[in-house]
Amino acid sequence: MNTSPSPLPNYLAGRWQTGSGPGTLLRDPVLGTELARVSSGGLDLAEGFAFAREQGGRALRAMSYRERAALLAAAVKVLQTHRDAYYEIATANSGTTAKDSAVDIDGGIFTLGYYAKQGKALGDVRFMLDGRPARMGKDPSFQSQHVMVPTHGVALFINAFNFPSWGLWEKAAPALLSGVPVIVKPATATAWLTQRMVQDVIDAGVLPAGALSVVCGSSNGLMDALQPFDVVSFTGSAETAHVIRSHRAVTSESVRVNIEADSLNSALLAPDADADSEVFKLLVSELVREMTVKAGQKCTAIRRIFVPAALYDAAAQTIGAKLAGVTVGNPRNTSVRMGSLVSREQLDAVQAGLAQLRTQSEVLHDGASHALVDADPAIAACVGPTLLGTRQPSDVQMPHEIEVFGPVATLMPYASLDEALKLIRRGQGSLVTSLYCDDPAFIADAALELASMHGRVHAISPDVAATQSGHGNVMPMSLHGGPGRAGGGEELGGLRALNFYHRRCAVQASTAALQRLGASV
């Protein structure tokens, strides 16, 4: 393991380039040691973006979907051979347990592999037909056929610190499959894993020149380098989302933008549940898992739990007791279940957020009661899980507005389903909500009520207790994103992810010409 602050080279314009200046140090969030340095200072971004746009784009677009899918499959093989190194980097730079590192590392590789398979099925074509030809009038000689073609630009990814691997590949897979070159700017705190994965893929020579670039460090100038046919996909805070969407490239040049921001995701226990029911147990175990996986640093984690009013105390007790058993500390100790937050800055932010939430809630389980295992509280960014609660959820605003990006959630009682739906809506749009219920009809009705304010509704019933994919797990076949507060973006969802990287166009022409396009006229 490298513990001296060596600079991580950026890969841009088809060559490795070290940024100038002191850059920013990456640290081990548990031990406090220095790991590496990143800098994007002095890079010629215009050259790099032009190289990707011209060399990378042309090479990718010359291939069919099947050929590009083969590139993804080749990248999967490269990444698999280096898995051990990625786990070491994750432990050191993200402070995560092996199980949590897997969510990021293996989740990323799995998603890349998923798109390799999906893309293969698209076959040896370079564009997609969108629907069937439509007549423009009574005469069938002139019709309209919509097509989807790759945009002739680059895809810039400005990514979040919590998923340096998955966050790269869940976006890069559909972009590359679409024929669009990728430039990734990982979050600085955990940039190492992203940089290393890109380096391995580049060094293996499986991608055409310009198809994949990485810029670590400051994001200064990246948005300025965008042109009308480029796209930008951002994952992170609402504040940075605002900055990106306010940039001239977006407001004046119609650069397409996808935002996945934080949200106040919820869990809803069905009105007819009781404390001995299977669905109550399912809620408790799902919640405890969601609060502790990656120390709650997941944009999909449950932040608000709504239970029938009569179950508030029982839920508080049962969840609190389970949380009390969670070991917290150095992920290198195998007895530790929950590792570190990503940095001391993040720890400060979590403590500040908790202090705010506590002004409008009671503490049902206090994370401060957890002794740290093999970690110095003065150095490590570790914190125990905290369950808050409020008995008047309609009268308070903070639990519906303030997302503490750590192992923190707020329990709230509801009197009627209508009230529960109103409370969930106060999140102003979320990535995901989960239902705990054994009645398929209730699930279907509630899912439709909740659908317009969520990108995903996840229903857990006893019959799928063993097969359900988890409230917070983002699976590539389902949409990831959500309206309003959640940023309004759409990622994944199987081949739907390709839409963002394609342009739709209506080709109006003679039947003979549309036949040449392959249309079923």
Using CB under 8 A, which residues numbered 276 to 295 contact a second copy? Answer: none
Which of the stretches 15-23, 332-340, 399-407, 509-517 binds a second copy when contact is defined by CB under 8 A? Answer: 509-517
Q: Which of residues 25-84 bind a second copy (CB under 8 A)?
A: none
395 token code pair: 């009268």
Applying CB under 8 A, which of residues 2, 20, 394, 469 lies at the interface with a second copy? 469
Total site size for a second copy, rule CB under 8 A: 86
Contact string (CB under 8 A) for a second copy, positions 360-399, x = contact: ----------------------------------------
Residue 327 vs 511, nearer CB to a second copy: 511
State both tokens at 443.
């699930």
119 contributes a contact to a second copy by CB under 8 A: no
Catalytic residue among 170, 216, 260, 382: 260
Residue the block writes with tokens 């226990």: 269
**Least spacing, CB of residue 120 vs a second copy, in Å:** 17
In the complex, the smallest distance separating the C-beta of residue 261 from a second copy, rounded to whole angstroms, is 8
User: Which x/- pattern over 203-232 shows residues binding a second copy (rule: CB under 8 A)?
Assistant: -------------------------xx---
SS3 content of the chain, % helix, strand, coil (to 5): 40, 20, 35
Report phi then psi at 224, rounded to 5: -65, -25
Q: Quick check: helix, strand or coil at residue 168? A: helix
**CA–CA gap between residue 521 and residue 511 (Å, rounded):** 6
Alpha helices in 28-179 (DSSP H): 45-51, 57-61, 65-81, 83-94, 98-120, 166-178
Stretch 404-433 residues interacting with a second copy (CB under 8 A): 428-429
Tell which one of 24, 483, 497, 498 touches a second copy (CB under 8 A). 483
State the DSSP code for 123.
-
Q: Is 437 a catalytic residue?
A: no
Asked if residue 479 binds a second copy (CB under 8 A), the reply is: yes
Name the CA dihedral angle for 465, 463, 412, 385, rounded to a multiple of 10 degrees. Answer: -10
Site for a second copy in 489-508 (CB under 8 A): 490, 493-494, 496, 503-508
Q: Is residue 515 at the binding interface for a second copy, with CB under 8 A as the rule?
A: yes
E-only strand ranges, 95-229: 128-135, 142-150, 155-158, 182-185, 212-214
Report 120-149 residues binding a second copy (CB under 8 A).
126-127, 131, 134-137, 139, 141-142, 144, 146-147, 149
Site for a second copy in 442-461 (CB under 8 A): 443-445, 447-448, 450-459, 461
Smallest CA-to-CA distance from 260 within 406, 428, 431 is with: 431
Binding piece for a second copy, criterion CB under 8 A, among 71-79, 80-88, 250-258, 367-375 = 250-258
Give 235 or 330: the residue with its C-beta nearer to a second copy.
235
Q: Does 441 bind a second copy (CB under 8 A)?
A: yes
Which tokens belong to 366? 């206090």
Contacts 24+ apart (CB under 8 A), 372-377: 372/328, 372/329, 372/330, 373/327, 373/328, 373/329, 373/330, 373/333, 373/335, 373/336, 374/329, 374/330, 374/332, 374/333, 374/336, 375/30, 375/329, 375/330, 375/340
d(Cα 117, Cα 103) in Å, to the nearest integer?
20
Catalytic positions, written as ranges = 260, 299
